[in-house]
């Protein structure tokens, strides 16, 4: 009986071992991905030499009581950064006009070879794709879906955007609802793949890229219009609230399981620090909110938010966003 058990158990164990090994290779977040990155990383876009944040920069970027509170909590905490599709929608609803000169050229895809640059530009191209779709620039949307596909493939995100997705998009280019559903689905596929394969840091970088692209488009499209009473200016300044969440997401992903700082997140923090300093000069105050139930089952959250900034400080935000976005697409 023992012998029979051995005969049957050995192949079973070997088969399981092979399956599990394949799984762990596929999951990507661990050493396999690191070595691939090392191979790709010669001359990559770390625009700072820092590999670890010093205390001063750490405290300046992350330090406040609210953040510490979250870290101390044992329960699961999610921080939700606006997705590329939501970012594009917010721009449009604030009165932005479409200008394809502002988009990151899809000829640049070959430039992006490191994990960080591919992740940033997956976010950037997805925001550009969403922006073009919302304004019914269908051929541009198609071209940018291909650029996003190229970035996703470079990041080994399998099946997020396949040829079937491109065909579906091509067949439905004139139906905006379907196009937006396709964009939403592909982004969900990418972000869920990364998060479920323990690559939350990469998922965070994708979101930061997409969010900065939205901010870049908004700051370019606002031009030299007066600040007061300009809804696009308000939308830009309100991003201080989203930036608080961006910082928390970066704090969540700064250290790996061994307590070592992730160099991609460190370099991103150094790139975003000037934006932190610029947003520090924006004052956002919100009155207490209350919820009022409407007749159509839609509640309204009633409150008043006031945003204050000096014109020179608003100009500084525009300059800083331009510099950050330029560094992302290089």
Partner 1 sequence: MRRTYHLIALLIVITFISFDASAQCKGFAKKMCKPELTPYIHDGNYHAALLLEGEEADLYKTFYSGQEYRLAVCGGAELPDIEFKVYDAAKNLLYDNTKDNNSRVWDFKMQSSQQLKIEIKVPVSPKPAEEPMEGCVSIMFGFKDTGE
Contacts with partner 1, residue ranges (CB under 8 A): 2, 5-6, 9-10, 12-13, 16-17, 19-20, 23, 27, 73, 75-86, 89-90, 92-93, 134, 176-177, 180-181, 183-188, 191-193, 195-196, 207, 234-235, 238, 241-242, 244-245, 248, 286, 288-291, 297-305
Contact 110, 154 (CB under 8 A): no
Minimum CB–partner distance for residue 259 and partner 1 (Å): 23
What's the CA gap between 125 and 140, in Å, rounded? 11
Question: In three state form, how does the secondary structure of 251-288 look?
Answer: HHHCECCCCCECHHHHHHHHHHHHHHHHHCCCEEEECC
Q: In this complex, which beta carbon is closest to partner 1, that of residue 183 or of residue 320?
A: 183
Q: In this complex, which beta carbon is closest to partner 1, that of residue 111 or of residue 290?
A: 290
The structure tokens 């200008």 sit at 99
Minimum CB–partner distance for residue 228 and partner 1 (Å): 16
What's the CA gap between 310 and 228, in Å, rounded? 11
Minimum CB–partner distance for residue 198 and partner 1 (Å): 9
Minimum CB–partner distance for residue 264 and partner 1 (Å): 20
Minimum CB–partner distance for residue 104 and partner 1 (Å): 19
Q: In this complex, which beta carbon is closest to partner 1, that of residue 16 or of residue 319?
A: 16
Q: In this complex, which beta carbon is closest to partner 1, that of residue 77 or of residue 319?
A: 77
Q: In this complex, which beta carbon is closest to partner 1, that of residue 57 or of residue 321?
A: 321
- The backbone region for 28, taken as left when phi is positive above 0, alpha when psi lies in -120 to 50, beta otherwise, is left
Contact 96, 232 (CB under 8 A): yes
Minimum CB–partner distance for residue 197 and partner 1 (Å): 9
Contact 295, 250 (CB under 8 A): no
Report which DSSP code applies to 110. Answer: G
Q: In this complex, which beta carbon is closest to partner 1, that of residue 266 or of residue 272?
A: 272
The structure tokens 């762990």 sit at 24
Minimum CB–partner distance for residue 169 and partner 1 (Å): 15
- Minimal CA–CA distance to 186: which of 133, 137, 135? 133
Pairing of strands 299-302, 305-308: unpaired
Q: In this complex, which beta carbon is closest to partner 1, that of residue 83 or of residue 253?
A: 83
Alpha-carbon Rg for the chain, nearest whole angstrom, is 22
């Amino acid at each position: 009986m023992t012998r029979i058990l051995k005969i049957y158990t050995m192949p079973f164990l070997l088969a399981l071992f092979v399956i599990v090994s394949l799984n762990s290779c596929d999951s990507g977040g661990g050493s396999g991905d690191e070595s691939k990155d090392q191979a790709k990383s010669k001359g990559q876009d770390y625009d700072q030499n820092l590999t670890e944040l010093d205390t001063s920069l750490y405290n300046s970027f992350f330090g406040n009581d609210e953040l510490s509170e979250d870290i101390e909590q044992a329960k699961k905490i999610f921080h939700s950064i606006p997705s590329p599709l939501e970012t594009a929608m917010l721009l449009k609803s604030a009165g932005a006009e479409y200008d394809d000169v502002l988009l990151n050229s899809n000829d640049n895809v070959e430039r992006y070879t490191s994990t960080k640059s591919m992740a940033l530009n997956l976010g950037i191209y997805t925001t550009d794709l969403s922006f073009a779709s919302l304004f019914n620039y269908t051929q541009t949307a198609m071209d940018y879906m291909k650029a996003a596909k190229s970035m996703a493939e470079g990041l080994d995100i399998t099946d997020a955007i396949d040829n079937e997705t491109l065909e579906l998009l091509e067949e439905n280019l004139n139906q905006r609802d379907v196009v937006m559903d396709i964009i939403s689905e592909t982004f969900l596929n990418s972000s869920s793949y990364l998060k479920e394969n323990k690559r939350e840091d990469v998922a965070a970088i994708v979101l930061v890229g997409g969010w900065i692209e939205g901010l870049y488009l908004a700051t370019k499209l606002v031009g030299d219009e007066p600040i007061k009473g300009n809804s696009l200016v308000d939308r830009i300044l309100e991003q201080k609230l989203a930036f608080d969440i961006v910082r928390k997401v970066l704090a969540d992903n700064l250290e790996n399981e061994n307590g070592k700082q992730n160099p991609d997140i460190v370099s991103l923090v150094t790139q975003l620090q000037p934006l932190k300093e610029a947003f520090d000069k924006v004052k956002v105050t919100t009155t207490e909110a209350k919820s009022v139930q409407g007749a159509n089952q839609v509640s309204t959250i009633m409150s008043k938010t006031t945003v204050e900034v000096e014109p020179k400080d608003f100009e500084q935000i525009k300059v800083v966003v331009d510099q950050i976005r330029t560094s992302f697409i290089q």
